[in-house]
Chain A
Amino acid sequence: MMTMSIFIGVAVLLVLLLLLLTRSEDGEESASAEGADRIRRESRDTLQPWEIILRIFSREDREFILRMRSPRMLRIYQEERRRVALHWVRRTSCEVGEIMRTHRLASRQSENLDGAREAKLLFQYLRLQFVCGLLAFLIRMFGPHALSDLASYTGELYQRLGRALPDGGVASHLATTEDTATR
């Protein structure tokens, strides 16, 4: 029964890919040309994205809102910031997709096309898309500050543990562990 499922699966996959082939004939090349232009335009202004990141994920705004002690304001802020952060992640994911598409279309005619390098780039691309997906999921579930909160909480916990144990036991233990790991 298992073999039968595999064979039927191969046939179904083949039909699905052929359907994709009939649909994707014309659109990609023109879409990619536009995408490549957009990436070139945007990459000229490389400072802007960093500033955007600082604004979106900055804690200053949140601290300011928290100081106002208005639950309604806090709710609006969280809602808006989550939406903006999700938009930024989605845009980054689209840009990564455009970079890959532009590469594919430019490299396909090259005589020196190297399978191993293409596979490595594909792996990098998939990793980036995974990170984007994970980030979007975390932002949707816990808000844009979830990861930095988690990092600072871990740091705080570590410091508290260090203070609780006499003679800097944890710190020295961790230092030893790190030392062993680097060796």
Chain B
Amino acid sequence: MLTMVIWWLCILVEALLLVRGIQQRLVRQFPIFYMYILFVFVEELLRFFVYRWYPNHYFNVYWTTQFLSLVIGSAVIFEIYRIGLRSFPGTARMTRFILLIVFGAIFAKALANPSESLFYWFANSSLELERNLRIAQALAILTLVSLFLWYAIRFGKNLRGILCGYGLFIALSIVQLTVMAYFWNDFKPFWSYVHAISYLLVLCVWLRALWSAQAVPEAKPAMQLEDDYEALVASTSGQFRRALARLGWAVRV
């Protein structure tokens, strides 16, 4: 009964998110994210319909829609990257490069150990497959967030809310799927509650962040006189050398 209440509450919040998105014209700003929410909204209704009237097909419908939402969710990460780094072409290039390394490493590991990889679709259970794909998404978000933090990229309340909500959703999914993989029998009775409550929490984060539109703040122009990157690197490197020399003096005096 409680699960059903939470389920309907989630559908209600998703509908509210879509309505506010249209009212505030955020749909235009974040089209992929709202497409994702729309997909999840339709998916929840479809799952409910199948669960209620065709329970035998529920398993297949659940996993098919789950993987489709996972694919669209990956596109949300790409949208965060695209909008967040719009004014930072150099940082965007570096992010692409690092993401390429991260995914290259995952792919290389998969090729090296095919029996443990993401691509060993049929032997592993659906749960493990989803968990592994969520890990890949988590690594992509970790890379993005680390670079956003390092270069102090500001992207406003809306985009930050999307990123935090989706990141939280992935983190919670990984924890749940990992715990389930190891302690399925102990965890089974609580699974539906934990899953539903954590998803509702994520929806609340999104609803709070996307209730009203807020423009993405423009970054201030570079503060140093040097427009040239070469000169900037040389200047920073020189200052570091002087600082090191000063520390060396302190030891030698």
Contacts and interface: CB of A to CB of B under 8 A. Distances in A.
Contacts of B226: 106
Nearest to B172: A11
Given A14-B171, A15-B168, A17-B145, A108 B153 contact: yes
Contacts of B91: 108-109, 113
Contacts of B219: 108-109
Interface of A: 1, 4, 7-8, 10-15, 17-18, 20-22, 24-26, 28-29, 32-33, 36, 39, 43, 49-50, 53-54, 56-59, 85, 88-89, 92, 95-96, 99-115, 117-118, 121, 124-125, 127-128, 131-132, 135, 147-148, 151
Nearest to A96: B243
A11 B88 contact: no
A132 to B, nearest CB: 7
B174 A7 contact: yes
Interface string B122-155: 0000000001000100110110011011111110
B236 A135 contact: no
A18 B240 contact: no
Given A106-B226, A106-B232, A54 B253 contact: yes
B9 interface: no
A121 B171 contact: no
A21 B224 contact: no
Nearest to A125: B240
B224 A102 contact: yes
Nearest to B91: A108
B57 interface: no
Interface string B150-175: 11111000001001100110111011
Contacts of A108: 88, 90-91, 151-153, 219
Q: Number of contact residues on B: which range applies? A: 35 or more
A109 B221 contact: yes
A29 to B, nearest CB: 6
A79 to B, nearest CB: 19
Contacts, number: 187
B109 interface: no
A53 B232 contact: no
B24 to A, nearest CB: 20
Contact of A29 (B97, B154, B171, B252): B154
B16 interface: no
Contacts of A100: 236
A113 B94 contact: yes
B167 A113 contact: no
7 contacts: A1-B182, A15-B167, A15-B168, A17-B146, A57-B249, A113-B94, A114-B229
A39 B160 CA distance: 31
Contacts of A50: 246, 249
B250 interface: yes
B142 A13 contact: yes
A21 B145 contact: yes
B77 to A, nearest CB: 12
Given A17-B142, A132-B247, A113 B150 contact: no
